[in-house]
Structure 1
Amino acid sequence: MGSEPADVGQFNVEIEVPEEVTDWMVVSAAATSLSEAAAGSATLITGRVVRFDEGDDSVVEVRVGSDVLLIEFPNRRSELPVEGFISFQASEIHLYPYDL
């Protein structure tokens, strides 16, 4: 929620999901995406599960396009399909622009 209006164009950004993801579903997608589910609601994220550690760490690597998001999944981690696709909703995402 920045104070400046958004610019139109293509930018390099780091994407952060600041909350734990507690509800997700396996999908048979061949593409990844970020899309707004409905005006004023959550963002629907579809990505490929890259990997996660078997220990107590709840962080999972999820690839969305060319980016890898580090997402916290506090439960059902063992059910995540490594190299498979999942979808989940995030009530908030943060975008951090950067220059290459």
Structure 2
Amino acid sequence: MGTPVDVEIEIPDEIAQWAVVDGPAVVASDAPGSPVRIRGAVAAADEDSVTAIRVGADIVLVEFVDPVNSTQADQARRPGVGDFIEFTTPRIEVYPYSV
């Protein structure tokens, strides 16, 4: 096994579909190259489309598609602070860094 490192997770694509859910925070994928499922609590939401999602002790920044362009007609707004949400993204990018 290798040495653990701190990483920054970047989600390069806008998120068009999400759901309000219950359950533990998670970042998971079934296999290398498979879509990644992310579940966490909305910690902050800016006026633009960037939203901070708390996943455990970490924060993942997500950009949501404008609700007008959403593929889910029932979602007339972006997730709000306090919502516990889950979404899937086709890929993430991981960048190691040191503290």
TM-score bracket, normalised by the shorter chain, equals 0.7 to 0.9
> Aligned residues, how many?
91
Flag structure 1 segments of 5+ consecutive residues without an equivalent.
1-6
Flag structure 2 segments of 5+ consecutive residues without an equivalent.
68-75
1:82 aligns with 2:81: yes
Measured at CA, do residues 97 and 91 of structure 1 come closer, stay the same or move farther in structure 2, by a change above 3 Å? same
Which one of 39, 51, 58 corresponds to residue 67 of structure 1?
A: 58
- Cα distance, 1:40 vs structure 2: 3.8
1:23 aligns with 2:17: yes
* Aligned-partner residue type, residue 61 of structure 1: A
Percentage identity across paired residues of the two chains? 37
1:33 aligns with 2:26: yes
1:43 aligns with 2:36: yes
User: 1:92 maps to which residue?
Assistant: 91
Find the residue that maps to 1:18 and give its secondary structure: coil
Relative to the length of structure 2, the TM-score reads 0.78
Is 2:33–2:91's contact at 8 Å kept on the other side of the alignment?
Answer: no
Q: CA RMSD in A?
A: 2.0
